[in-house]
Structure 1
Amino acid sequence: MAKSVGHDYNEEFDYLSLKTNHPLSEALDTHGDGESLAKVGSAPARELIGAALNKRVQGVDPHDCEAGAEDAFFVADLGEVYRQHVRWTKHLKRVTPHFAVKCNPDPMVIRLLAALGTGFDCASKAEIEQVLSLGVHPSRIIYAQPCKTTSYLRYTAKQNVTQMTFDNSDELYKIKQIFPHAELYLRIFTDDSASMCRLSQKFGARMENTKQLLTLAKTLGLNVAGVAFHVGSGASDPEAFLRAVRDARAVFDQAAELGFNLHTLDVGGGFCSETFEDMAAVLGRALDDYFPPHIRIIAEPGRYYTSSAFTIACNVIARRTVEDPEAGSKSYMLYLNDGVYGNFSSIMFDHQHPVPQVLSTKRKPDGYKYCTDLAIEYSIWGPTCDGIDCIAPKWTSAETLDIGDWLYFEDMGAYTKCSATRFNGFTDQHDTIYVSSEPGTMEVVGM
């Protein structure tokens, strides 16, 4: 259990500090120091995932099974989530991550991260409710939604979830009326032009308006406790963090002139596994240059934790042969039982390009990781009647795939099942098989 809130602010958030001797870290770190653990080879993890994938599909005969038995399913490696956490603590020691629940509200992921001492970034009543239901203390949640639903705000007040963001005057009047004792973080505009998903076109107070908003908050008697920013989901420019930290420092100074005592900086999300070290290096230096050690720093990583931890397997439900007599060529259209209206929504909403790989075929049932020279051309489609439901317009493989065969896609843990729909009556509920390539994590989540 999280320790109770005390009167001293530093004590209140002490349990969230990322200490290298975290008791759970000691229990799970069977490889010695955090650095060596983070470098555990990917081969054993992939073999573990592959075994789980194959065990499931070998038990399904799509030609003689109950309706839905061959539905798409996930395999989630909780060990990968843990390794990402170790990696974070090594490179961003000052920054306490608050996992962005919207990215992947998987209950086992949330349980694990809660046990590791992270906080949580929630944007709705349902997300807050889910996190609280798992025993997380309200002080570990930030309601990181600058424009909140009125009834949701009343709910957060009842649950004593005090930390929240704002970026406009109308929101301040709303908060004054419903939750005047909230702890407010002014979210500022940032340059997110180098991100996959831009957010500043919707949220963030411009620098020319920040002093006016702080003055209004002071007049209303509200508690502004910090500054927040977000450089965009899937950011690629480390300098965006530097510029945002500089702007946040200026707002801290404005607040001090008005009598506020700001104590928290929320550096938002935008972290990707592929560029994490580069981003962390720039952000870490900027924080040390502009913010003294007593300022609490938090962040809102999402995809960083979960993207590479989830793999999905899909069944080929139909095949269409496309022949070109003039060219003397033949290709195939493969139709899977999942698509862009389902777990491949990341193609539409998150600019992702999932890569198909052969899991098994009738000719090679143990095809996981199978690789030869590429030969046969395919296009891959989802199951709905919409023409935009295309997973891959062009893909080549040495395998001749047919109805009943299986494909798998790695890196499917971010903005996938969280935005799946039931369009055309297809299910948005897909099984997740949990494995762990790190000892101890399954016990932590109660499995």
Structure 2
Amino acid sequence: MNATIADFSASFPVASSRIEGFIAAHSFDRPTLVLDIERVEAQYHGLNAGLGNATIHYAVKANPADAIIDRLVDLGSHFDAASRGEIELCLSHGAHPQAISFGNTVKRPSDIAFAHRAGITMFAADAAEEIAKIAEHAPGAEVYIRLLVEASGADWPLTRKFGTTRDTALALMAQARDLGLRPAGLSFHVGSQTRDPAMWGDTLDQVAAVWQAAVEAGFDLDLLNIGGGFPAFYGEAIPHPTVYAARVMEQVNARFPEGIRIMAEPGRGLVAEAGMIAAEVLLVSKKSEDDLHRWVYLDIGKFSGLAETMDEAIRYQFVTPHDGEATGPCILAGPSCDSADVLYEKRPVALPVSLKSGDKVMIRNCGAYTSSYSSVGFNGFPPLDVVVI
């Protein structure tokens, strides 16, 4: 990042946050994610207060910035790692091995062995072959079985690719026990950006039924991983993180035994609102004189950090120098020579009519799943830069 103090703030409304103030006071030679580490800490405390007896395992994939991992280690957070690289990252910042779970259900055998040697004791699985790999390369480890659950109403459902059915889950527990592993419990994911805690109810009913069946089959379960789903603000109202987490835990505690270990894996809900992206308008055009929509091309797109605009599931909020002026519908697109690099078309974005090439824009609440999604250099564009304040 090459940021310099500039007479830039005059073109924006009064900054509503430390991040907006920082971006408004600097210029950037490429799209840049600005993170406020104090906001990460505030979100952690807010979620932790509501989660009560549940332990936070931060989903590292949401944003692996060194400053975030370092601060969360200091706060006593645990971590959900999806790869050897994420395990090594957490360990390098002082995380205790037993505070890290290997939560990806698809793992390379050598990575399982690495994790086991490093002291990781907790692994996820949802298939017989995965159980066999863990038994061979992490003998004696704890495993939790990820369940396939029906969609909850989340903005980004996470069904089909991960998880298994009730009967298969019981069979996997038996296999794990026979191979010398400890089948400790169950995990699930209610779906990313589950805005209303009431949406958890049906999913928790499904998981509780499998838990009861496992107990009746003789398995001594004591671990429930409730996954992520904790939301961030993208324009639609959501509860305060403490209130949200407390309402989720009320439902969990009503369905599961007292005294069990409960893991929660917030990613988006912990870091999304701690980041904003500084970007620039490259072109505003119409395909024809009678076109109802303008096309607005930014210097950032799907391949350089905004992958979550896929299917228009996540609706980012934009700040421009012309806010307060007349607006009109825009199709928003990225800079690459790829026709898939269109951000919002099904539901156009209302942006000021006076918006033009060279205007600086801010994209709010981009702290999660942006820098970690950014390509190394598709079309020669550099990866998303990151600055921490």
TM-score by length of structure 2 reads 0.85
Distance 1:319 1:211, change over 3 A: closer
Aligned to 1:389: 341
Aligned to 1:264: 223
| Residue deviations 1:203-231 (CA, integer Å, cap 9, x gap) | 22211333322222222222112221211
C-alpha distance in structure 1 between counterparts of 2:53 and 2:381, whole Å:
44
Matched, 1:283 2:248: yes
Aligned to 2:301: 339
Deviation at 1:92, TM superposition (A): 1.6
Letter aligned with residue 402 of structure 1: K
Matched, 1:163 2:119: no
Alignment partner of 1:315: what SS? strand
CA contact (8 A) 2:228 2:266 kept: yes
CA contact (8 A) 1:207 1:247 kept: no
Matched, 1:351 2:313: yes
Deviation at 1:294, TM superposition (A): 2.2
Matched, 1:401 2:359: no
Please show how residues 99-248 of structure 1 align to structure 2 within 5 Å: 99-236=58-195, 238-239=197-198, 241-248=200-207
| Residue deviations 1:386-421 (CA, integer Å, cap 9, x gap) | 223223444454463333321111011222121112
Distance 1:404 1:143, change over 3 A: same
C-alpha distance in structure 2 between counterparts of 1:267 and 1:44, whole Å:
40
CA contact (8 A) 2:152 2:203 kept: no
Aligned to 2:381: 426
| Residue deviations 1:136-169 (CA, integer Å, cap 9, x gap) | 0111111111222212111111211111111222
Distance 1:277 1:135, change over 3 A: closer
Distance 1:161 1:311, change over 3 A: same
C-alpha distance in structure 2 between counterparts of 1:198 and 1:266, whole Å:
17
**Radius of gyration: which is bigger?**
1
Letter aligned with residue 300 of structure 1: E
Aligned to 1:297: 262
Bigger shift: 158-167 or 373-382? 373-382
RMSD (Å) for aligned C-alpha atoms: 2.8
Contiguous gaps of at least 5 residues in structure 2: 1-12, 233-237
CA contact (8 A) 2:50 2:243 kept: no
Bigger shift: 106-115 or 278-287? 278-287
Distance 1:231 1:50, change over 3 A: closer
Q: How many residues align?
A: 368
Deviation at 1:119, TM superposition (A): 0.8
Alignment partner of 2:220: what SS? coil
Aligned to 1:3: none
Identity %: 30
Deviation at 1:290, TM superposition (A): 3.3
Alignment partner of 1:197: what SS? coil
Please show how residues 428-447 of structure 1 align to structure 2 within 5 Å: 428=383, 430-435=384-389
Please show how residues 14-53 of structure 1 align to structure 2 within 5 Å: 46-53=16-23
Alignment partner of 1:419: what SS? coil
Alignment partner of 1:90: what SS? helix
C-alpha distance in structure 1 between counterparts of 2:181 and 2:267, whole Å:
30
Deviation at 1:76, TM superposition (A): 1.1
Aligned to 2:366: 412
Alignment partner of 1:128: what SS? helix
CA contact (8 A) 2:204 2:252 kept: yes
C-alpha distance in structure 2 between counterparts of 1:190 and 1:278, whole Å:
24
Matched, 1:72 2:39: no
Aligned to 1:93: 52
Aligned to 1:306: 271
Deviation at 1:258, TM superposition (A): 5.6
CA contact (8 A) 1:339 1:382 kept: yes
| Residue deviations 1:49-97 (CA, integer Å, cap 9, x gap) | 222112222xx6xxxxxxxxx2111221222212212221232211111
CA contact (8 A) 1:346 1:414 kept: no
Alignment partner of 2:162: what SS? coil
Distance 1:222 1:356, change over 3 A: same
Letter aligned with residue 128 of structure 1: I
Deviation at 1:254, TM superposition (A): 4.7
